[in-house]
A and B are shown apart, each in its own frame.
Chain A
Amino acid sequence: MTIELDLPDIQGLVARGYGQLPHSRFLMLSVTDRAGAREALSRLLPQVTTADERPDATALNVAVTAHGLAALGVPDRVADGFPREFLAGMSDPHTSRLLGDLDGSAPEHWAWGGPATPPVDAALLTYAADAAALDRQCDALEQDVRSSGWRVAARLDTLPLQPDEPFGFHDGISQPLLEGLPRAAGRDATVRAGEFVLGYPNEYGKLTDRPLVDAGDDPAGVLAHNGGRDNRNDLGHNGSYLVARTLRQDVDGFWRWAREATRGSDGTSDEARAVALAAKVVGRWPSGASLVKTPEGDDPALADDNDFGYHHSDPHGFACPIGSHVRRANPRDALDPDPGSPESIAVSNRHRLLRRGRVYRNDDGETGLHFLCIGANLSRQFEFVQHTWLANPNFAGLYDDADPLVGPRAARGATFTAPGQPVRQRYRDLPRFVTVRGGAYLFLPGLRALSWIAGDHP
C-alpha cells in the first residue's frame, strides 16, 4: 500500500515547512506581459526547491492562480480541467459566503487579492536562513521578474519563525503525516498521499480529478502521461493546491475580552482566569498542551503531546469545549459516524490540511498570520473545514457558536459555550478577533507542470 512519491518533481513546501529557514517573504505577482512573464518563469525553474532537497540557505516555491494561468496563455480547454472552486477563486461571491468572508472580511476590503487591488497571478514563496540572505534572494528575484513581464502586486513580509502565533499560543503542533515521505516510513496514522498531492490515491483510494492536456497541447512531452487509457498528459501530477490568506489578529481585543469576561462579581480581574478562558476558546493552553491532557492548568511538559482523542476522555467538552478552535479545526475522533472509532478518524482524515503559515507584523502594528495550507481538493479540505467546521454556528449540535477564535460574526455565531458542571457557561456577543485581509487559491504545480505552464501555448 506504500506509494513512491516522485520527490524531485514535487515542490518542497509540500514536504516541509522549512523550519531551518526562519525568514520568509511571499511575493504576489501580476503579469504585465505574457511572453516576458513566461520567460522569467522559465528562468526561475532551476531555482525552485523540490521535495527531495533539505535546503539550509534559501528556498523558493512558485504557485499560480487561475487568473495567472489565463494571463500566461494557458488555453481554456486545459484550464477548464481545474476544479470549479479554483477557477472561481477565493474572492468569488459564493466562495465568500461559504468561507464567511463577509462584512469586514469581505474581498472588497482586502489589502491584496480582492477586486480593488491588482490581480494576483502568481506567488513566489521565498525562505532563507537569515534576514540578509532573504533580502538578497528577494531583491534578485524581484529585479529579474520586474524586468520581464511581471509586477509585484503585494509583498507579504513575515516575522522570523517563532513557535507561538500572535495570540500567544504554541501553534502548528498537529500536522497530518504524508504517506510516502521518508519520515513517514514505518509510522501509522499517515494520511494518503493523494490527499495532498495530485496523481496519487487519496483516502477513498481514488485519484482526485486533475487537469489533463491533449498530446497536441504538449508536443514536446514535458508532462507525465495521466496513467489512464487515453492519450492525455497530466498537468496536475505532483501538484497541489495552495490556499493563501492574510488573517489579521486583534491581539489586544482578544485579551481585553478574556479579561472582561472573567472579571469577578466584585470587579476584580484575575490573569489566571483570563488565560483559562482564552485556553478554552483556543482548545489548548498557551504552551500547546491539550486541555484534554491537562484540564486544570497549563503543563509545558505536555506541550508537544499530540497523542489524544476527544470522545472517550471528554465527550461533553467539559475539558476542551466542543466549539473551541482546535477541536473543530481537527475533531479527531469526535464526530459521527460512531465517535471514538477508527471510522470517525477516517472521516476526519478526509478533511485535513497541511499548514505552512507564518506570522507577520506590519510597521503600523497590524499583526496576524499569513496562513498557507496545502491540499489536493479545495472543496473537500480547506472549504469544508472553513465552512462546516469553523464558520458554522451549528457545528456538532451547537446553536449560535461559530469558531470563537477565527470565526466570522455575521448575523449569527457570536456565542461561545464552555460546557461545565453542573451547567455550561455561555459567553454572548463575542467581538471579531480575526479579519481576513487578503487571499487567493493557487496551484502549486509539479516541476514538469511548471515548466509546461512557462512554455509556449498554441
Chain B
Amino acid sequence: MPHQLAVTVRAPIAPGRKADVVQLLSDINRKGAASGPLPFAEMEGVHFARLFVIDDATDLEGRSLPASLVYMADIDAPLGRHWGELAAKAGPGLDEVFGRCADYPTEPVTPGARTAWLRGHSVASGAVYVNTVGRGLQQIRGEAWLREAIEDFLDDPSVSRARASATEVRAAVREFVASRPDLAWALRPPSPPSLGFRLREAAHKVCVPLVALLLSPLLLLALPVWGVLLRTHERRDAANRERPSLEHVRMLDRYEDHATQNPFTAVGLVKGGWFRQLTIRAVLYATNYGTRHLFARGNLAGVKTIHFARWVSIDDRRRVIFVSNYDGSLESYMDDFIDKVAWGLNAVFSNGSGYPATRWLVLDGAKDEQAFKNYLRRGQLPTQVWYSAYDTLTAHNVATNASLRAGLWADLTPDQTRDWLTLL
C-alpha cells in the first residue's frame, strides 16, 4: 500500500478578483466536489481535498499580506500521478479558479503548463499527521466494502442460528469471504508501503535523535536561556479572549456538519520577534517527528478522531495555516483537544498571536476553554470547497474495518476469536 502525501498549492489572487474566486468556489461546492469541474472522485488516491481563500491581512508589523487561494489534498503516493491527474482531469476547473491568480499561465493552458505552475506554487508542510501511515484509499474503500458484505452475510438468520460458537461463526465468515472472488484479497494481509519509503522513515527515526544527542551539550546549555526567555515572553504576551463576530461564525456554520466528518481550516499570525520564530520552528520540527514516528497508528496523543492534519508556514513564516479532517462537530473536536491534548496544542499554537496565556509552553493555554474556543473560531476560515472520499466513515470505523480484515487471515485463539467478532 502506498504511503500518503500532503499537497499544498498557494497563489496570490489577482487584485480585485477575490469575490469572483469565492463565488466560483461556492458554486463548485454546491454542486459537490466529487464530480464537476474538480472531479476528485475520478482521481486516484485522493482521500481529502479542499480549496479555500485566505483574506488579505496585515501582519503584526503592519505589512500587507495579499489575499490568496489555497488548494490542499491528502493523497496516496506517487505525487507525480496526482499532478498529472489534476492537470488532465481538473484542467478547466483549475483554469477557472486559479486563472484569477496573478501569474497563472494564459490561454490556452496546456496540461504541461498547468502541472509546472502547480508544482511551482506548491508549499512544503511544517508538520503532517496521517491517521495511519500506509493505509491507502484503495485499502480503506476495500475494507469498508468487505465489512458491509460480512455484515449482510451475518444478517441471514440461518447463518447465526446454526452456529453456536465464535469459532464456528468465524469459520463461516472466512468461507464466505473466500467464496467471493471480489473479496478474496481480504484473506491476505495488506502490503506495506514501498521499501524505499520504509527505509527512509527508519533512517529518519534513528538519525534525528542521534543528531539531537550529538548536539545535546549545546542544547542543554541553551535550554535554561530559552526557558528564561520563554517565561519572559509568556508573561508579556497579550491573550485575546474576544469572541468571533456572529457574522463570521454564521459564515463558518454554513460549511459545517453536513457529513460524519468536517474540515477545519485556520490561519494565524505568529507572534513577533525571533524568539517565537525559533520556538515554533523547533516545535513544528518535533511535532513532525512525533506524527511520523510516534503517532502514526490512529492516535494523535489521545485524539483518535483525526484522519489527516497539517501545519504549513506561509509568508516568510509570519503566518501558519492549520488544517484537519476530523470526525464529529467542531464542538466535540475542540473539547477533545482541550481534554486530551491541550499540552500539544499549547506547544504549537501558543506561538500564535492572541492565544490564551500558557506557562512553560505546555501548561494552561487551551485549558481556558472559552478563550481557546474563541481563538480557534476567530482564526478559522470557511472551507469553501471540500471533498472526502469516505464521508460516512469515522477514523474509528476505518480502524475497525482494518482489524476485521486482519482477523480474517491471522491465527486467533478462541478468546481472540470472540473479541474479533465484537468488531461486527
Contact = CB atoms under 8 A, between A and B. Distances in A.
A424 B254 CA distance: 38
Given A84-B246, A423-B169, A265 B157 contact: yes
A400 B160 CA distance: 21
A202 B397 CA distance: 33
B192 interface: no
Contacts of A87: 246
Contact of A387 (B243, B254, B329, B340): B329
Given A94-B254, A393-B260, A397-B397, A423 B154 contact: yes
B339 interface: yes
A380 B331 contact: yes
Contacts of A388: 328-329, 331-332
Interface stretch (B27-35, B198-206, B231-239, B416-424): B416-424
Contacts of A84: 246, 249
A428 B165 contact: no
A422 B396 contact: no
Given A350-B335, A383-B331, A392-B328, A97 B258 contact: yes
Contacts of B369: 202, 204, 206, 380
Interface string B284-305: 0000000000000000001010
A2 interface: no
A376 to B, nearest CB: 11
A136 B342 CA distance: 55
Contact of A94 (B257, B338, B421): B257
Contacts of B397: 394, 397, 399
B339 A337 contact: yes
Contacts of B338: 204
A422 B165 contact: yes
A399 B260 CA distance: 10
A426 B250 CA distance: 39
Nearest to B173: A423
B168 interface: yes
Interface in B377-416: 392-394, 396-397, 400
A350 B151 CA distance: 35
Interface in B57-114: none
Interface in A115-130: none
Contacts of B246: 80, 84, 87
A88 to B, nearest CB: 8
B358 to A, nearest CB: 15
Nearest to B329: A387
Contacts of A423: 154, 160, 166, 169, 421, 424
A380 to B, nearest CB: 6
A241 to B, nearest CB: 15
Contact of A422 (B169, B258, B332, B392): B169
Q: Binding site of B, secondary structure by majority: helix, strand, loop or mixed?
A: helix
Contacts of B328: 387-388, 392
A422 B168 contact: yes
B370 interface: yes
A263 to B, nearest CB: 11
B421 A204 contact: no
Contact of B370 (A80, A208, A424): A208
Contacts of A8: none
Contacts of B143: none
B332 A426 contact: no
* Range of interface residues on A (Cβ < 8 Å): 35 or more
Contact of B166 (A204, A380, A422): A422
A269 interface: no
Contacts of B392: 393-394, 399-400, 412
Nearest to B328: A388
Nearest to A98: B257
A419 interface: yes
A177 interface: no
A336 B399 CA distance: 16
Contacts of A347: 335, 339
Interface string A301-341: 00000000000000010000000000000000000110000
Interface in B18-64: none
Contacts of A265: 157
Of A94, A337, A422, A424, the most chain B CB neighbours within 10 A belong to A422
B414 to A, nearest CB: 11
A379 interface: yes
A422 B249 contact: no
Given A94-B253, A316-B422, A424-B424, A397 B339 contact: no
B396 A397 contact: yes
Contacts of A422: 160, 163-166, 168-169, 418, 421
B230 to A, nearest CB: 24
A202 B154 CA distance: 47
A265 B400 CA distance: 32
Contact of B257 (A80, A97, A206, A350): A97
A426 B253 contact: no
A254 interface: no
A209 B370 contact: yes
B368 interface: yes
A384 B331 contact: yes
Contacts of B257: 94, 97-98, 387
A397 B400 contact: yes
A399 B397 CA distance: 7
Contact of B302 (A94, A206, A336, A419): A336
A268 interface: no
B311 to A, nearest CB: 23
A316 B423 CA distance: 9
A380 B394 CA distance: 21
Contacts of B315: none
20 contacts: A80-B246, A88-B250, A94-B257, A206-B368, A206-B370, A209-B370, A316-B422, A337-B302, A350-B339, A379-B331, A384-B331, A387-B329, A392-B260, A397-B394, A399-B392, A399-B397, A421-B166, A422-B166, A424-B421, A426-B155
Given A204-B368, A393-B260, 6 more contacts: A206-B368, A209-B370, A336-B302, A380-B369, A383-B331, A394-B260
Interface of B: 147, 151, 154-155, 157, 160, 163-166, 168-169, 243, 246, 249-250, 253-254, 256-258, 260, 302, 304, 327-329, 331-332, 335, 338-340, 367-370, 392-394, 396-397, 400, 418, 421-422, 424
